[in-house]
Structure 1
Amino acid sequence: MLPRLNRLFDAGSGRALDVAVDHGFFGERSFIDGIEDMRSVIATLVEAGPDAVQLTLGQARHLQSVPGKHKPALVLRTDVANVYGRPLDSHIFSHHVPHAIEEAVRLDAVAVCVNLMQLPGRPEIREACIRSIVELRREATRYGMPLMIEPLVMQGAEADGYGVDGDIEKIVTLVRQAVELGADLIKADPADRIDEYHRVIQVAGDVPVLVRGGGRVDDRTLVTRTAAVLEQGARGIVYGRNIIQHPRPAAITRALLSVLHDGTTADEALAELEEAAR
């Protein structure tokens, strides 16, 4: 698995920026705002140069058809669920793609990503996720494919939109379960108290933690939070809508990369972003 992870993490900083563009998989109209034209989106990201792009089975070909050695690595999303609708459907589900690991090998992915969702009052979704993780873990070990587990602590059904529950106690508990289930990588929720995020890193042990972006926020919040979670020990970030729905996705990508890999401060990165807009 190490050869694949070596293609995900930057050789200098040991960190990674993975841009998630797998939102269309979940069947929610608002999720595809800004990514209607996937060829154009991926071309923009390739030029901006993040460490990886997270895509689905149906869209991965757009990245992997790009010629040349210097392009983002592929992280393949393996599961689909209908838990993001408001209101929720009367029947909710989560399923992983059959033969997902074989598909990832054929597509030359560096890792696969699967959810571990905690939805209040719906324990069957967590059970479905665990079943998927156990099956994927078996196949991932067989093929030497790193398994990224995404512990996702969700707000209750009364919440509006794609919100996350930033309770550090819940995040720590679910992250630990992901580690126990055999995660090679963790894609974890941000927390309400970033100064406590070292607890997430601690409970993950030697499993690298990449922090997901959650809902859309302003540039200052995004860049400042990124610098803060890195200080707390995170090995990288997995951002989706905060990049792909940004008015200047290439510019915000480059700003985040400078924080991750060059040690740029949040204020310096924001100044560079503002300068790029002029």
Structure 2
Amino acid sequence: METYNNIGIQRRLRRFFRRDGRALIFAMDHGFEHGPTDFEETWEHIDPNLILKKVIKAGIDGVMTLPGIARIAGKQFYGKDVGLMIKLTSKTELRPKEDHFLQSPLGFVEDVIKLGADAVAATVYWGSPYEDIMMKQFAEIASIAHDYGYPVVQFSYPRGPYINERYGKKEDYRVVMYGARAAAEMGADMIKTYWTGSKETFKKVVEAASGVPVLLSGGAKTDNPVDFLKLVWDVMEAGGSGAVVGRNIFQRKDPEPMIRAILRVIHRNEDPEEAAKAEGLV
């Protein structure tokens, strides 16, 4: 018989993966992690109420954000069938360069519960000089969240000077695969990580996660929407469970057609060019 907290974890996960085990999640932590300059192209989206209203209207499966944004724009979620994920670690670009490989706590699991959210997220920079600190943070968050029946998402990001020296880049499939495996072995219920450059190598990342859903970290905005849709298509072809997307959504003047096109690729297996054409992106 299932335990109470495991039932809670599975029910909350289905608020993101409610249709077919796949999900498109909107990322809204860039104002903290990168700074408000990320919104310069589409300045009106600096207002979380405005951009969240648009993405929820477009049919997004879930939203990932920080506690304060969920508080400021909480009314956008009232009565809406959309999952809410709260990230409890972060960093700013203002800190000294030598500390950029560390994410710090900015909230507590109890805050996630108070906000009525559905999942907890935290980052681990695998290979960082501060790896042990973030491992401890994640372990503590996961232990408490699981006790309360909340799924835990790890943003599994290989970063650090050792990785650059040995592998050349953080997106090398061997280190992304290693990070995904480490996240699964730490007890993550969902993993967000880098694209590795090909379907073949990303498939290895998915296999290393051993059944824990792996989602693409969306990254920088592409000039051509079809290029990003093709990337999402390759992720799904490799066995991925979806994508967590920020800049490729909020840095577009009208984000709703892009969201609907990504949803077509993720949930309907539509060809990227056909999805783009259907939503008027080309």
Is the TM value for this pair above 0.5?
Answer: yes
CA contact (8 A) 1:179 1:207 kept: yes
CA contact (8 A) 1:168 1:193 kept: no
- The change in CA–CA distance for 1:91 and 1:202 in structure 2 (over 3 A counts) is closer
Q: Aligned partners of 2:221, 2:158: CA distance in 1, in Å?
A: 17
CA contact (8 A) 2:195 2:216 kept: yes
User: Hey, what does 2:113 align to over in structure 1?
Assistant: 105
The correspondence of residues 140-179 of structure 1 with structure 2, limited to 5 A, is: 140-154=145-159, 165-179=170-184
- RMSD of the TM alignment (CA)? 2.3
1:180-222 CA-to-partner distances (Å, cap 9, x unmatched) read 1110111111112233211011010121111111222231221
User: Which of residues 41, 46, 55 is equivalent to 1:36?
Assistant: 46
CA contact (8 A) 2:39 2:251 kept: no
Q: Aligned partners of 1:270, 1:155: CA distance in 2, in Å?
A: 37
User: Which of residues 67, 70, 92 is equivalent to 1:60?
Assistant: 70
2:49 matches 1:4: no
Return the offset for 1:88. 5.2
1:19-74 CA-to-partner distances (Å, cap 9, x unmatched) read 00111222634334443121111111121120001111101135531365334221
Supply the AA of the counterpart residue of 1:18. I
CA contact (8 A) 2:88 2:122 kept: yes
CA contact (8 A) 1:185 1:209 kept: yes
2:21 matches 1:14: yes
Return the offset for 1:233. 0.5
User: Hey, what does 2:4 align to over in structure 1?
Assistant: none
CA contact (8 A) 1:190 1:211 kept: yes
- The change in CA–CA distance for 1:62 and 1:258 in structure 2 (over 3 A counts) is farther
User: Which of residues 227, 233, 237 is equivalent to 1:227?
Assistant: 233
2:151 matches 1:139: no
Q: Aligned partners of 1:207, 1:249: CA distance in 2, in Å?
A: 29
CA contact (8 A) 1:194 1:225 kept: no
1:217-250 CA-to-partner distances (Å, cap 9, x unmatched) read 2312210010111011011110111111123211
User: Which of residues 26, 36, 49 is equivalent to 2:33?
Assistant: 26
- The change in CA–CA distance for 1:134 and 1:67 in structure 2 (over 3 A counts) is closer
The correspondence of residues 60-139 of structure 1 with structure 2, limited to 5 A, is: 60-66=70-76, 69-82=79-92, 84=93, 89-92=97-100, 93-98=102-107, 100-118=108-126, 122-124=128-130, 126-139=131-144
User: Which of residues 60, 69, 72 is equivalent to 1:50?
Assistant: 60
User: Which of residues 184, 191, 199 is equivalent to 1:186?
Assistant: 191
Q: Aligned partners of 1:178, 1:128: CA distance in 2, in Å?
A: 15
2:264 matches 1:261: no
Structure 1 unpaired stretches of 5+: none
Structure 2 unpaired stretches of 5+: 1-8
Return the offset for 1:259. 1.1
Q: Which consecutive aligned stretches of 4+ in structure 1 deviate over 4 angstroms post-superposition?
A: none
Percent identical across equivalent pairs?
A: 26
Supply the AA of the counterpart residue of 2:27. A
Q: Aligned partners of 1:155, 1:244: CA distance in 2, in Å?
A: 28
1:121-150 CA-to-partner distances (Å, cap 9, x unmatched) read x412x2221121011011111111100001
1:96-125 CA-to-partner distances (Å, cap 9, x unmatched) read 234x21111121212111111136xx412x
